[in-house]
Chain A
């Protein structure tokens, strides 16, 4: 069997070549757009969706298919990204889904839903639902440190 350990969204996942530990840079929970942003829009903002899977029985290998589906704030779903989780030769797997940009339909809360199904099974099992807020915020660029804040702010 395969178990889901954790999933999150960050700006970059880096694997240390010596220790093989992953470093997650800036876990992202909210994306702030500047006021006046017209939707739909592609936000050219890199995110790494990192998901870790492991064998429930350390001595027993297993294979499964994972799936990440983004639920838009209006309740519609986007095309899912599927990936193989092959733990026949490894105890655990880090799956990083890197996206160079996010297509945004509107402001609101998007959900990244993580499902998986074992080989030979039909039914998907949901293991995580990660909220991701998109808001229009005045001074989004200043928050990012790209522009100085006005005096007194």
Chain B
């Protein structure tokens, strides 16, 4: 089964109807896992190129104009795609989730996106959405905290994703170790230098 054959099934009304009996995200994903097309999708998404193609495809879907009076007919499909990417390529799932948060007329997909993008925060609640979404936790109930926490999920560059200019997550690291730098090293740095210095002073 090719990616597009699998997606054709996942985006069908029959598929949405079968999963429509779910009353929470866990149940939705448990039902999705039973579907043959989703099993195929999970296998295909192990390949980074296929995952990138799925990402571009779903981003395009979100831009399609449908009847604005109704929920997006691909709502369940998009939710399943976020979940499937989360199982196989978590970095790409987060990219998709950021896009979905600002998409209109999605319900399941929005919940899947909040779960994917809101990690580290407690009971995230979406309070705004335009070019970015605010997922906030505030008040902390009766504990009387003096701190308000606000999580803003930024929409990444859609154009780069839509045109498939997404790098493999493995292509990037965050080390400041210049050991393997190809370019010239600044100042008096040597091959063993780090670009950062940490000073610890015990007082």
Contact = CB atoms under 8 A, between A and B. Distances in A.
Interface of A: 11-15, 17, 20, 22, 26, 28-35, 37-38, 40-46, 48, 79, 81, 83, 86-87, 89-103, 133, 135-144, 146
A99 B199 CA distance: 30
B72 interface: no
B89 to A, nearest CB: 8
A32 B150 CA distance: 29
User: By DSSP majority rule, is chain B's interface helix, strand, loop, or mixed?
Assistant: mixed
A15 to B, nearest CB: 6
Interface in B34-73: none
Contact of B175 (A32, A92, A95): A32
A99 B173 contact: no
Interface residues of B, number: 53
Contacts, number: 179
A143 B98 contact: no
Contact of A100 (B94, B147, B151, B196): B94
A93 B180 CA distance: 39
A96 B151 contact: yes
Contacts of A13: 120
B88 interface: no
